[in-house]
């Protein structure tokens, strides 16, 4: 799951980011209203952790902007302003949950997983294509009813493509989606090529009737055989 943390307090923002990355989430951050809106306009996230009090604007205005973009994203409001009015307005604007500061990081993780389960219609949710089923909740790949072992990034890559079957994905877009803010620290995409090579080999060896094909000069796309 890819998460955007919108929080102006640097120490809390980095603590949240570090903890969530250890839990296996892909995390990006924004410390003010403008950066949050800019990232939301360009990139896609499955969950946004949103503070209400931000430099340059209100988190509730960020929430309104998210809804106007019509992107499928879970929003958890995280704010020191534990007032009924803020909570009610946030939920009315489409937030999925509300967590008041201070909070335990374990509770934050539980809330994230809870809204993800609700949006996926239960823990048995899976992306399916051909004889392949990818289960985000359990991090399992099933091919023809048999489990196939994948590394974390291989799983994330396949999930990204199974959400976009038949769509050509540029390698730079894929790198940003799977590796987050750290993708632009490299001037080449060897890390993408290596993970992709391993994923394609594992799908082939497992007898999957789907494949991630290279589209010369453009990137990759997921297709059936």
The pLDDT value given to residue 188: 62
The pLDDT value given to residue 181: 58
Average pLDDT, rounded, for the chain:
86
The pLDDT value given to residue 110: 86
pLDDT more than 90, % of the chain: 42
Separation CA 138–CA 126 (nearest Å): 10
Taking only the tens place, the pLDDT of each residue in 16-44 is: 999 999 888 889 999 999 999 999 998 88
Taking only the tens place, the pLDDT of each residue in 116-143 is: 776 665 445 678 888 999 887 778 899 9
Q: What is the dihedral of CA 106, 109, 111, 115, to 10 degrees?
A: -160
The residue that leads in pLDDT, 57 or 69, is 57
- Whether residue 184 has pLDDT greater than 80: no
Separation CA 121–CA 190 (nearest Å): 36
- The pLDDT of 50-57, averaged and rounded, is 92
Does pTM top 0.85 for this prediction?
A: no
* Residue-wise burial string across 7-18, b where 16 or more C-beta atoms lie within 10 A, e elsewhere: bbeeeebeebbe
| Rg, C-alpha atoms of the chain | 18
- Whether residue 213 has pLDDT greater than 90: yes
């Amino acid at each position: 799951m890819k998460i955007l943390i919108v929080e102006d307090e640097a120490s809390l923002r980095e603590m949240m980011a570090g903890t969530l990355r250890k839990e296996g989430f892909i995390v990006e951050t924004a410390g003010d209203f403008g950066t949050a809106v800019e990232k939301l306009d360009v990139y896609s996230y499955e969950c946004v952790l949103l503070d209400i009090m931000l430099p340059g604007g209100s988190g509730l205005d960020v929430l309104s902007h998210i809804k106007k973009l019509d992107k499928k994203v879970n929003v958890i409001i995280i704010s020191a302003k534990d007032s009924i009015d803020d909570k009610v307005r946030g939920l009315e604007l489409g937030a999925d949950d509300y967590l008041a500061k201070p909070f335990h990081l374990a509770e934050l993780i539980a809330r994230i997983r809870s809204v993800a389960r609700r949006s996926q219609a239960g823990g048995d949710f899976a992306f399916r294509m051909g004889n392949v089923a990818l289960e985000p909740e359990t991090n399992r790949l099933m091919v023809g009813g048999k489990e196939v072992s994948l590394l974390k990034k291989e799983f994330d890559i396949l999930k990204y493509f199974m959400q976009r079957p038949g769509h050509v994905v540029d390698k730079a877009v894929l790198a940003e989606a799977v590796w987050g803010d750290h993708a632009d620290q490299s001037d080449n995409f060897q890390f993408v090529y290596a993970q992709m090579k391993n994923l394609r080999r594992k799908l082939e060896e497992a007898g999957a009737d789907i494949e991630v094909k290279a589209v010369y000069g453009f990137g990759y796309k997921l297709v059936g055989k």
